[in-house]
Amino acid sequence: MAFIGANIKVRGVVQGVGFRYWCMRQARELAVNGYASNMSDGSVEIKVEGDRGLVEEFIKIVRTGPTYSDVTDVKVEWYEQPRGFDDFNIRHGD
């Protein structure tokens, strides 16, 4: 397994539309770990870790978003040192 982690910043209509909970469902289906958090600037921050192929698939899914969202920008920063997440959860942002 090629482990990878990603810090993801998602912009657009991504708050108030169930985006974080949708991310949690997608992540759990793919068996990747981390969290999603609303940020004060209206974006959603996601940290996700797991098998590289699964993390890449998760990012592809996030670029689409759930039905009532409108994702306009996704920035990804990769990292290789695990943060030790054991599930995917919702966090409260800054």
Catalogue the active-site residues. 20, 38
- The CATH number assigned to the domain holding 42 equals 3.30.70.100
CA distance 57 to 26: 10
Convert the pLDDT of each residue in 48-86 to its tens digit.
999 999 999 999 999 999 999 999 999 999 998 888 899
pLDDT digit string, tens, across residues 34-50: 999 999 999 999 999 99
Q: Which of 11, 26, 5 is nearest to 72 (CA)?
A: 11
Domain tally for the chain? 1
67-80: b (≥16 Cβ within 10 Å) or e = eebebeebebeeee
Does residue 1 form part of some domain?
A: no
The answer as to whether 41 is a domain residue is: yes
Position 84 scores a pLDDT of: 83
Q: For residue 88, count other CB atoms closer than 10 A to its CB.
A: 25
For residue 40, is it within any domain? yes
pTM as predicted: 0.93
How far CA 91 is from CA of 36, 37, 76, in Å, comes to 6, 5, 19
Residue-range definition of the domain harbouring residue 74:
11-91
Is 3 within the bounds of a domain? no
76 inside domain:
yes
Residue 45 lies in a domain: yes
